[in-house]
Structure 1
Amino acid sequence: MKLALLAFFFLLLNSSTAEVVLDSEGEPLLPGRDYYMVRFIWPGPGGVSLASSGNNETCPVDVIAVPCCRHCIPPTENCNGEALKFNPLARIGIVTTNLPLTIRFAKTPSCAQSPEWILVKEEGAWLVGIGGPEDYPDKEILTGLFLIEKAGAGYTLKFCPKHLPEICGYLGLHSDANPNWRLALTNEAPHTVIFRKAGDGNSAI
């Protein structure tokens, strides 16, 4: 019920300002389809993937930005990272800006409690991960919804907590102790991305 109220809150705000979110081919982003979410500005991290850390050393539940270096020896083989699915709570045929939605990886490890993105308090920051309380013992967790916003020729992501829908924050990058570039809430420049179609993953979940 709380997620439904959160979705309704943003649908009211979204009704007059929404734009269709476009992929790298200029086509609308479709709910449930598989997309790579890659950094808009190069050089830098590529797409996103999952990694293991001190939270859970046996199950990859941390959302990281994939290191990408095409000119290195050897070059990075996969700059796209892993595919994602964007699923709005509202049953509509396309994804628009400022539309509340959940995000999940197209393929997720069976060891994780849940495939959907959440935020976890660690290292003094709110970091993006997947799973649930069992995957992050003794950690504070936030659930909520994500919004896509237009940012020049690319897009940024916002996270809005379920219990405080009026307080949203942009996602940026945070260097952890491993070191990995983790997606995290930021007060600095947001992580700007574009969306690329991934393979033939067209089925909605």
Structure 2
Amino acid sequence: MLRLIGSLSFIWLLMATSTMAQTWPPPVLDADGQPLRSGVEYYVLPAVTDLAGGLTLVNLNNGSICPLFVGQEPLAPVVSPGTSVIFTPRVADTVIRETRDFTVAFTGPTICQSTAWMVGEQNPETSTRYILAETDPNPSSNAWHFNIVKNDLGLYNFQWCPNCLTEVCPRPLCGDAGIVVENERRLLVLDGPAFPFIFRRA
């Protein structure tokens, strides 16, 4: 009888462990094969080399500096890795996981109010949504919550498709993040071809 109870307990523990493992998506890996960690600085670099540099803040405004937009360093003889970022999971965790929401912000001070990424309004001429750094993240808004997905080639894409944490949360118009060139500036936008990135620890 005791042996039967022990066997049943082992089977239950095995099933519970298997169920828990299935509920946690795999971690996003950096260029060295290590999980992306919350609060650690990383450079976001193109997965395809010889295209441009890393992601950084770009000024698109005439006369006004703020808000700043998320863009990409241009291709140059010495390619810049851009400005490092910090990822913060929406739900308490120590690593960044595939398909799980997080906020992302550039490190270092600027003259603008915030360096946290957010989704801006749709451009009526191009039907794209720019990603910019405008205000500090609002926990009740989905505009700041991004996630990372792996494409068919095993490379990582940014996506804006926030997970609803309440039953009344309306599903947003999801989009993959890609690069467009406007006025010789490379900008990160939604609603276009996805652009793959890698993450290198700063």
* Same fold, TM-score > 0.5, yes or no: yes
**1:117: Cα distance to partner?**
0.6
Which residue of the partner structure matches residue 31 of structure 1? 38
Letter in 2 for 1:175: V
Other-structure match for 1:89? 90
Note if contact 2:53-2:79 (Cα within 8 Å) is conserved in structure 1.
no
- Of 101, 122, 127, which aligns to 2:130? 127
Q: Give the secondary structure class of the aligned counterpart of 2:145.
A: strand
User: CA 1:169 to 1:108, structure 2 compared with 1: closer, same or farther past 3 Å?
Assistant: farther
Q: How many residues align?
A: 169
Greater RCO, 1 or 2 (C-alpha within 8 Å, sep 6+):
1
* Aligned equivalents of 2:22, 2:106: Cα separation in 1: 28
- The answer to whether structure 1 residue 64 and structure 2 residue 71 are counterparts is yes
> Does structure 1 retain, via aligned residues, the 8 Å contact 2:47–2:196?
yes
Aligned to 1:50: 57
Q: CA deviation at 1:15?
A: 5.7
Match for 1:184: what amino acid? V
Contact 1:50 1:60 in 2 (8 A): no
Shift of 1:55: 6.5
3-state SS of the aligned residue for 1:145? coil
Mean Cα deviation higher: 87-96 or 145-154 = 145-154
Report % sequence identity. 26
State which structure, 1 or 2, has the greater radius of gyration over its C-alpha atoms: 2
The CA deviation string for residues 105-153 of structure 1, in whole angstroms up to 9 with x for no partner, is: 01241423x32111223453201110149xxxxxxxx824101111234
**In angstroms, what is the RMSD of aligned CA positions?**
2.6
Find 1:186's aligned residue among 179, 183, 191.
191
More deviation, 24-33/166-175 = 166-175
Match of 1:76 in 2: 78
Tell me if structure 1 keeps the 8 A contact 2:106–2:116: yes
* Unaligned segments of structure 2, at least 5 residues: 1-20, 137-141
Q: 1:56 to 1:23 in 2, by over 3 A?
A: farther
